[in-house]
Amino acid sequence: MLTRSTLRNTLRFAPLFALLGAWAACGDPEATPDVTGGGSMTSTGTGGDSSTTSSGSGGAGGAGGAGGASPCDSATATCPCKLQGECAEGTLCVDGLCITPCDFSYQCGGDKVCANGECVTKCDGAFPCEDGYKCTKGICIPDPANPQCGAGAPCTGGEICVGGLCTTACSKNADCPEGEVCDWSSGSCIQNPSAQPVCTMTSECQSATPQVCGQDGFCHFVCDPASADMGVGQCKAIDNRFVKCDNGICKTQEEVSPECTTQNPCKDVGKDCISNKCI
């Protein structure tokens, strides 16, 4: 199975072996392991599969934590992890990064899907991946065979080459373009892999069709379970993918009966949980 780690392990972590070894030596032996087991194939976008800088592409590396000058601050950057105990409250260790995991694709925005707990760019024949990526299982992952940059093809516009991808150097999230965060361990910007809640109260859900702000921080279409068809017709009139009115909220089949989630990953070797299906 492809994993983000296998795509970038040697490159990304080469400057950090000593640092991670020190963490492992002093870590909590009873800490909970990464919920994904390192078994995902996901990538975190434009710089997601980060690594040390390729030669001839703009310097010796990113601006962030590889130098080990100070510990990663989860309030300002996306921090690396090996165990759940290393992540701040409200985040989980997913494929080597402390993030707010997604369980459903609606938590990721229009051009992304939830894959193994991470929000990643989706793709198909009509919407191909950008250069440097390939479409696998409906998501874009880095393509080492066709890198954006390298020794003979440096990045332009002040970007650095990280794992064959052109990206912005960073030491904190504020250094990155909109929609990206700073992967502190590589010092490079990546597409934000976290679920990003959009509301805290229903008044923030602006839509011509009534919505309510759910406990998960996302806006949901409302329905009347007391109606003749228990609200299903109301939901399908909004979007045919809705199959049930559950406690006054329209839900898709994936939400009602997910084959897998972040907390319940696919059991079969080689399978990835993409949009709640083991693929």
- The H or E element that residue 92 is part of is strand 92-94
Averaged pLDDT, 183-196: 96
Q: What whole-number distance in Å separates Cα of residue 20 and Cα of residue 139?
A: 29
pTM score, whole prediction: 0.76
Give the separation between CA 273 and CA 56, rounded to whole angstroms: 37
The predicted model gives 46-52 an average pLDDT of 40
| Residue 251 binned pLDDT confidence (cut-offs 50, 70, 90) | very high
29: Cβ–Cβ under 8 A, 6 or more apart, which residues?
none
Q: Does residue 160 have a pLDDT over 50?
A: yes
Question: In the chain, what are the domain boundaries?
Answer: 4-24+33-191, 202-255
Q: Look over the chain and give the mean of its residue pLDDT values, rounded to a whole number.
A: 82
pLDDT, mean of residues 72-88:
93
Mean pLDDT of 221-237: 95
Rounded Cα distance between 44 and 166, Å, is 13
Residue 62 scores a pLDDT above 70: no
Q: Which pLDDT score, from 0 to 100, does residue 69 have?
A: 53
Lowest mean pLDDT among 22-36, 93-107, 238-252: 22-36
What pLDDT shows up at residue 11? 32
Q: Which of 37, 32, 31, 16 is nearest to 265 (CA)?
A: 37
Distances in Å between the alpha carbon of 106 and those of 198, 204, 220? 11, 17, 10
Averaged pLDDT for residues 255-265: 95
